[in-house]
Structure 1
Amino acid sequence: MASTVATEKRPGYGQLLRTPGAWTFLLPGFFARQPFAMLTIGIVLLVQHTTGSYGTAGAVAAVTGVSMALFAPQSGKLADRFGQRAVLLPGVAVHAASGGALTALALADAPLWALFAAAVPTGASVPQVGPMVRARWAARLEGSPLMSTAAAFESVTDEFTFVVGPVLATALCTGVHPAAGLIAEAGLTVVGGLLFAAQRRTQPAPRPAATASAPHASALSVPGVRVLAVAFLGIGSVFGGMQVSLTAFSEEIGNPGVNGVLYGIFAAGNMLAGVACGAIAWKSGPRRRLILGYAALTLAASGLWAAHSAVLLAALGLLVGLCIAPALITGYTLVETLVPASARTEAFTWLTGAVALGQASAVTVAGQLTDAHGSGAGFTVPLMGTALALATLVTLRSRLSPKARGRIAARGVGHRVPVTVD
């Protein structure tokens, strides 16, 4: 027993990956979530090729992102109620069909309204594999200190996906055919989604029937989830603002190729911080870590607009990336203490959808500011988004503490480690 307790005090990735059954959903889950990182860039490259307009391409991609943000939580709620497999199978079919329709319409020079009409179901049906993987971790690690390690591991996996996915989609669109990126995205969705859905033994048990003692309630009814959703909107504003503004900055200095390097440095900072967060045995509570991490993110983003050299922007981008991972990881860790197991997948999809909505909004606003005033103005979008989210977190921080009955329940199922409450 002493050795077990000692191990729990210093949770690490090795112990996490030895969790029984973990690899059965991690490997198919990685391939199943890869298309999510390919979708936006695949749409932009295809629609820009067929219309000649980045504005039109960005608008179609934004419709897809907003649609996903609005429908993803409903997908998560259905997965909690009926099981992940029951939602994944029809979702994969709808996404492949609607993505194929969007590709065909773009190649046929269809009018913009038709592209929008196809973009809505394409975004709405994006399989929410990332939140489903997090829900499987939560089900298998109920009350364990390894939950924060699992959240860090998933953050690193997400970031790695967003490094590999856009590069793969860009290579296919530019080296094979402008539609190849979206075609590959649809194919990976079908194959990866079906393989992930086949792993029935590790999916959380569905809660099909509501009762008076355990009614079905939306995860968004939990005040803390609403606060976290606002915080994740701010994180999405960083991703969207950085994508547009780094592209514009690279063109302004006459070196478009440096865009990939700058964004890669930004993503690398996020990955490195994610790895470090999962290896640290934290002594402070998650609420305090979230507020401090978000304050650091806001401070780092405040200098982006003033950078006038690629070297300085690379350094600031690395710093911003280092600050994003702690905020993301702590937010996902807090969800496990705020919502019951019957609503976790939905809660995770609200946060993922908030990032997508924040990103779509930031792409639109940063694009307009960049067109009118240059890349420096576009870099103010991450600052504004994170500052507003930080103000919300500080003002409503009391809502991020679990209720008394949640703490009692968390200790009541054989947990050796109580939940930390600030």
Structure 2
Amino acid sequence: MASAVKDSRPGYGHLLRTPGAWTFLLPGFLARQPFAMLTIGITLLVQSTTGSYGSAGAVTAATGVSMALFAPQSGKLADRFGQRAVLLPGVLIHVAGVAALITLALAHAPLWALLAVAVPTGASTPQVGPMVRARWAAQLGGSPLMPTAAAFESVTDEFTFVVGPVLATALCTGIHPAAGLVAEAALTLAGGLLFAAQRRTQPPAHRTPADDRPHASALSVPGVRVLIVAFLGIGTVFGGMQVSLTAFTQHIGHPGINGVLYGIFAAGNMLAGIACGAIAWKVGPRRRLLVAYGLLALATTPLWTATAVPLLAAIGLVVGLCIAPALISGYTLVESLVPAAARTEAFTWLTGAVALGQAAASSAAGQLTDRFGPSAGFLVPLAGTALALAVLLTLRAHLAPRASTVVSQTSAAAAGTAPEERERELASA
């Protein structure tokens, strides 16, 4: 039995043959595509109408902060009442918020008005990625294919970040500054409704009986709090790169290259994700996270020194290659740290942390760019990842799954696994 489990560990083909997988993967891909278009669409629209990277960064930050604060609440509600019940109203509110933001920006409304409407726009952003991950967890349980599923989701996320920024930039620069956000709203509406319609594969709602205590929040798990800090640091890379690449390409007089450069950065992330999912790892996800994060902090160091497009593209590719292993390892750890009743919430905390880090980095990079030039914004990813790495190294003990959790998951996946093999799995974690 143990050998059978070992043989099934790697392989996207085996994963994609999971019953019902395609019914939520295809609409999920369409529904999560707008996530990669939202912040860059806001940045390009607001910068075009105000002429200020600081204002664009502030509005983007307001969107990201509200997204980060409300996403875990959305995840908690999805765990309790089902994904469809949360997704349908969220999609409609988000589309209305984007429409209001476009209208105010084109009317040259004051900054406070843009910030006010950015809050509900970000808060209602559909959390499709965490919902898809929760569906994988519900389908696979304690299967050894869960790391492959985490890798597959990272690849899917990064593919959207290859396509999304290029599409949004092309629409904003080639058609109209608001065209990127118009497309984002349309895709959110169509994809969100299609995904919500897939009721058969959604995880069961974990309603709290009247005589039971309320569900513990995923935030009560120490390991989740450590992962939130790590994902905040990853968010600073996304936000700092987005604003700084926009400013850099504007500065050299080739704004259309922005989407290409960001696409190269995201492509590195996607390629690394594909490789991570195809490898049968002998090292546990905690060690992989620490190594990958150290490499990520190192890779961001030379960004601010790049003055030529080819060099910046090469460094961005390396940075991207380091992000996917860190993300995949973090998401893989959730399954062993958090009970099923709080898993969607945990995934949304991590996604929200990325959004919050991205928002803070967008604002900081925008301010640095306005004051010191386009290269100054690249210091933000370096500072964010270095601080997060220090926290990870200090609190890494909290990322070790409890023995009872790992043994129960191993038993569910392979009842015949020998005790000594279980001990090795715990040691490698």
Give the shorter-chain TM-score range: over 0.9
Q: Alpha-carbon deviation of 1:364?
A: 1.4
For the residues of structure 2 that align with 1:302 and 1:36, how far apart are their CA atoms? 27
Q: Aligned residue for 1:330?
A: 329
For the residues of structure 2 that align with 1:396 and 1:339, how far apart are their CA atoms? 17
For the residues of structure 2 that align with 1:414 and 1:245, how far apart are their CA atoms? 46
Q: Deviations over 1:12-67 (max 9, x none)?
A: 11111111100000000001111111212222333334334333233222211111
Q: 1:410-421 to 2 correspondence within 5 Å?
A: 410-416=409-415, 420-421=426-427
For the residues of structure 2 that align with 1:371 and 1:321, how far apart are their CA atoms? 26
For the residues of structure 2 that align with 1:321 and 1:101, how far apart are their CA atoms? 33
For the residues of structure 2 that align with 1:252 and 1:95, how far apart are their CA atoms? 33
Q: Aligned residue for 1:5?
A: 5
Letter in 2 for 1:78: L
Task: State TM-score, norm by structure 1.
Answer: 0.93
Q: Alpha-carbon deviation of 1:254?
A: 5.2
Letter in 2 for 1:59: A
Q: Aligned residue for 1:199?
A: 198
Letter in 1 for 2:7: T
For the residues of structure 2 that align with 1:179 and 1:251, how far apart are their CA atoms? 18
When the two chains are superposed, the root-mean-square deviation of aligned CA atoms in Å is 2.1
Q: Alpha-carbon deviation of 1:412?
A: 4.3
Q: Deviations over 1:350-393 (max 9, x none)?
A: 11111111111111112222333334432221111111111111
Q: Alpha-carbon deviation of 1:314?
A: 2.4
Q: Aligned residue for 1:116?
A: 115
Q: Deviations over 1:160-184 (max 9, x none)?
A: 1112122222333334433332222
Q: Alpha-carbon deviation of 1:302?
A: 1.7
Q: Aligned residue for 2:129?
A: 130
Is the contact made by 2:155 and 2:273 (CA closer than 8 Å) also made in structure 1?
Answer: yes
Task: State TM-score, norm by structure 2.
Answer: 0.92
Judged with a 3 Å threshold, the aligned counterparts in structure 2 of structure 1 residues 320 and 173 are, in CA distance, closer, same or farther, namely closer
Give the secondary-structure state (helix, strand or coil) at the position aligned to 2:34.
helix
Q: Which residues of structure 1 form unaligned runs of 5+? A: none
Is the contact made by 2:5 and 2:414 (CA closer than 8 Å) also made in structure 1?
Answer: no
Letter in 2 for 1:116: L
For the residues of structure 2 that align with 1:101 and 1:178, how far apart are their CA atoms? 15
Q: Aligned residue for 1:82?
A: 81
Q: 1:386-397 to 2 correspondence within 5 Å?
A: 386-397=385-396
Q: 1:264-343 to 2 correspondence within 5 Å?
A: 264-343=263-342
Letter in 2 for 1:8: S
Judged with a 3 Å threshold, the aligned counterparts in structure 2 of structure 1 residues 220 and 318 are, in CA distance, closer, same or farther, namely same
Q: Alpha-carbon deviation of 1:255?
A: 4.6
Q: Alpha-carbon deviation of 1:8?
A: 1.6
Number of matched residues?
421
Judged with a 3 Å threshold, the aligned counterparts in structure 2 of structure 1 residues 3 and 403 are, in CA distance, closer, same or farther, namely closer
For the residues of structure 2 that align with 1:244 and 1:34, how far apart are their CA atoms? 20
Q: Aligned residue for 2:100?
A: 101
For the residues of structure 2 that align with 1:381 and 1:221, how far apart are their CA atoms? 29
Q: Aligned residue for 1:230?
A: 229
Judged with a 3 Å threshold, the aligned counterparts in structure 2 of structure 1 residues 313 and 125 are, in CA distance, closer, same or farther, namely same
Comparing 227-236 with 94-103, greater Cα deviation is found at 94-103
For the residues of structure 2 that align with 1:255 and 1:414, how far apart are their CA atoms? 53
Q: Aligned residue for 2:217?
A: 218
For the residues of structure 2 that align with 1:163 and 1:296, how far apart are their CA atoms? 22
Letter in 2 for 1:5: V
Is the contact made by 1:143 and 1:415 (CA closer than 8 Å) also made in structure 2?
Answer: no
Is the contact made by 2:296 and 2:322 (CA closer than 8 Å) also made in structure 1?
Answer: yes
Is the contact made by 1:210 and 1:216 (CA closer than 8 Å) also made in structure 2?
Answer: no
Q: Aligned residue for 2:168?
A: 169
Letter in 1 for 2:169: T
User: Is 1:382 aligned to 2:381, yes or no?
Assistant: yes
Percent same amino acid among aligned pairs?
A: 75
Letter in 1 for 2:393: V
